[in-house]
Structure 1
Amino acid sequence: MTEYSSPMLARHGAVAASGSDAGVAWHYGDPVAEQRALVRGGAVVDQSHLGVVRVAGPDRLRWLHDITSQDVAALAPRTSTELLVLSPQGHVEHAAGVVDDGEATWLITEADDAAPLAAWLDRMRFMLRVEVADVTGEWAVIGEPVAAEGAEGEPLTWWDTWPRVAAGGTRYGPAEDEHPGMQRPWRLVLVPRATLAAEVAAREASGWRLAGTWATEALRVEALRPRLAREVDHRSIPHELDWLRTAVHLHKGCYRGQETVARVHNLGRPPRRLVLLHLDGSGHVLPEAGGEVLLDGRVVGALTSVARHHELGPVGLAVVKRSVPEDAELLVAGDVSGERVEVAAAQEVVVPGEGVSADRPAARGPLTRGLSAPGHEGLGAR
């Protein structure tokens, strides 16, 4: 949808979000209280700007299984998972939350990705019995802080199981019992777009507060959760973002980009790594997403997300070169109101510099010279 504007923006105090969240509210006048309500499990979030793609037909699950990164061949109804569409070189092109209702598979993606994803899927149908439709205009999404699948009789729901390592996945970042994302319950509920306001009102009537994307983004950043519209660029591979936890099955059949996924998993050392940055907020001015990450005056990465967390203060996610020392103090630079701003940033490791997953296969003999030797930049280093 172009130039979408949610009816929730007519609420008193609503301030519109921008960028990838344009069309819904950034906050409704008290972003700190909204964050705290979300943490307590008492808030509803308008996510109606997100894209929705519906795939119907008897061949849909096997077909999606064959062309994406996830094992969905036998996906049970009302069971949530996540998939990526990769380029032949293994770069992330599309990402979607996935849930099936027994008759069709529903893909929830970024606002600007629904039409391109639907178009790509439509080109891949060949002679199979599948039907692809971008249904964003008919279906809206509501976010709520619940860690559960949708029950029978409830609207169809996608549960974000991040950071739980799914079957066939692996992790580069913290173990589940140490991961901050375990404290972030989150699911997306599909409702007919015409009923969006009524669905939000019903949750408010139960005592929940209406919250904006300031709150959801702050908690997502704290949870180290990658997002297609923010952390992904044309070079991104899922290992760099710890996305093999939920979106990649390492033991399924061949699919586009699978060779890169397997090679980097086996050899280790993805070229870049995701980090959490604690930003110096003493100047009360922060660079925006896209700002350069500097080490000793050199550009070593980019700030991909930035938020003000109600407890942590200013935080961000960034993608930096694997060679950046894990204990290095960094600067984030960007233009704010026409002036260049540089903000100090302390790293919190997400994907370690060594770039080895929790279950990387043991070497079966001498390694190929130059690929994994200590001190070498490794495969495809940037």
Structure 2
Amino acid sequence: MWKVNEPVRLGDHIAFSNGKTSPARDQGGNYTIWGSNGPIGRADTSNVKGPFVVIGRVGAYCGSLHYVPEDAWVTDNAIICRALDSGLNRFWFYALQTASLNRRSGGSGQPLLNQGILREIRIDLPESEQWLDIARVLGALDDLIEANRAISHLAAAQAAALASTSPSRVHLSDLASVADVRQFRPGGPVDHFSIPAFDERQLPERIEGDAIKSGKLLLRQPTVLVSRLNPQTPRVWMAYPRDVPAAASTEFVPLVPTDSAAIEEVWAVCVSDGFSAQMRARVTGTTGSHQRVDKSLLPELMVADVRLLDSCKRATIVSLVREAHASLVGAAEAAITHDELLPLLMSGRVRVRDVAR
């Protein structure tokens, strides 16, 4: 029996092997191709049977971890990890997250991990009788996170599709206007609606306002935020202020609804492909990383006239957008619980039976 915090040598429990050169890409293929930092395409053949863990082997993503439940192809930029006890692959995915793999790389140039380094790593773990239960608890939270994200994505897509069924198009100014919001320098806790926060999980980051060094937009009501920066990557955010001040980056154009539309309907028309195409057609700037759209142009863009839809469809759009947001919040809350529990369970400070209570 392994005692709490007794060092465990990875090579005694995990078989490591290198991936192979990527096969020809086939977007209709049955198998995902995994590189050093996640999926990079599809193929019609596989070289590993799932489940297993992928570790980034080289470069900026050296030490990154991904759990793969199904058969797949792993490239030579990654290392394949398979538990010697096949029922514990998911446990070792979580255990490896405590090993700080990105700090253990070798090589004189770019970061590099190899099988020899990995086999000799020793980490502290609780007694082995807990391992399967730990994997079940953390796995259930991961499944909950993914389920909430899937629900959010589906609800958002349905809302946008429903809005697009309107038979007519109007200027955005008929449904919304650019909000007259002041810039401020926040102090105390704030919800920061920034470009990086959107890209990470489409939820604001709660931080201390003193950490923000530039003026931000103060949001006092539910607002649609449309990024005018680099519109080749569409960023349209349904922002709901909560219990602390909401501070938005000035790279966003804040939209509020007219009396004839709901804010959720404004979001639904602004996430359409047609709206994104119009944004891209109006960029200024010559470098790809600093192209912007003048915010004064947004009111003249054409969008679906959701006012022509019947009341049932309009109410459904509002409900779907709110459901999409609630599911994102649910995923974020589950992720926080997961991240708090993982080191506690792996260190033995908390046992699974304590979590169950």
TM-score per shorter chain, which class? Answer: under 0.3
Greater Rg by CA: 2
Structure 1 or 2: larger helix share? 2
What's the TM-score once normalised by structure 1's chain length?
0.25
